[in-house]
Amino acid sequence: MWGLTIGVLVLFTVTLTLQQLRYNASNEYQSIHQLDNTVMHLGNPEEKFRFESQQGNEVRLIGQTHKGVVQHYRLVAKRNNLIMTTTKGGYMPLVENISDASMMYANGCLTISFKTRHHRQVSRTTFLPEASLES
């Protein structure tokens, strides 16, 4: 009887551990997928995003809305999220469940790096031209 009880407890513990590991891996891959989508969106020539400036860990961009209106955006890491905000108060989370995010612009390329909650280092680079004076 004791053997059966201990066997059931061991199987229950293994099942819970495997579920938690699968959940953690799922969250990690979701963050990486969100970053890939963000990089594709920023590097899309039809979106017309341009680099304006960088202040610390905040990148300022200029882009056109779908109506053709030029708008200023900020790309910043806040509260374990990478978000894009507008000067008009708009807010869009791009990547969730991250830590130690950093952004660097050099030679026409924007590099976004972060660690997932389980300490996996992820980095992506996209071409992002500088804003012209006419923008």
Note the pLDDT tens digit of each residue in 20-37. Answer: 887 777 777 888 888 888
pLDDT at 79 over 80: yes
Domain interval for residue 54:
2-127
The secondary structure element, H or E, covering residue 26 is helix 2-43
The answer to whether residue 36 is domain-embedded is yes
CA distances from 5 to 8, 10, 15, 17, 81 (A): 5, 9, 15, 18, 44
pLDDT at 135 over 50: no
What is the number of domains present in the chain?
Answer: 1
The answer to whether residue 72 is domain-embedded is yes
| pTM for this entry | 0.73
The answer to whether residue 132 is domain-embedded is no
pLDDT at 103 over 80: yes
The answer to whether residue 134 is domain-embedded is no
Instruction: Give the pLDDT band (50/70/90) at residue 134.
Output: low
